[in-house]
Homo-oligomer: A and B are copies of this chain.
Amino acid sequence: MTMGDDEGFELHPALAADCAVVGDLPLCRVLLMGDRNYPWVILVPRRPGLREIHELAPADLARFWGESTRLGRALMARFGGHKLNVAALGNVVPQLHVHHIVRFTGDPAWPRPVWGVMPVVPYADAERDARCAVLRELLGVGP
């Protein structure tokens, strides 16, 4: 990856508003979704203008799935979930972003997909910061 690959990337304002920034992996910005109903992490490849996974260049596609599987394993090991939901939807926010949501058989939306089911429950600031710190440690990324 050359330094220039990030050029022109800006996080979509809707993602910036809804999420806390955990840090950057080599390809993706890592976000914590501001909803304490579920451990919910979003990966956003830092490339401008992307809408679909299949638009990633081949080397970035390999990076993306490397980062996604690493994140998925780490989340499931740390939070002990029953199922991971991985989804690239983007019907509302067009910038490519991929949800990784740890699901529990007792969570408020189970077994439905989470979108639109429960009202968002925001984190308290300290709880959000602590969760971001845990994620940084899991992924070995700086703030």
Interface residues of A (CB under 8 A from B): 51-54, 56, 61-62, 65, 68-70, 72-73, 76, 83-92, 94, 103, 110-113, 115-116
Contact = CB atoms under 8 A, between A and B. Distances in A.
Copies of this chain, complex-wide, total 2
A71 to B, nearest CB: 8
Given A110-B91, A112-B116, A72 B85 contact: no
Q: Report whether over half of chain A's contact residues are helix, strand or loop; otherwise say mixed.
A: mixed
A54 B83 contact: no
Given A65-B61, A103-B91, A53 B115 contact: no
B85 A85 contact: no
A116 B14 CA distance: 25
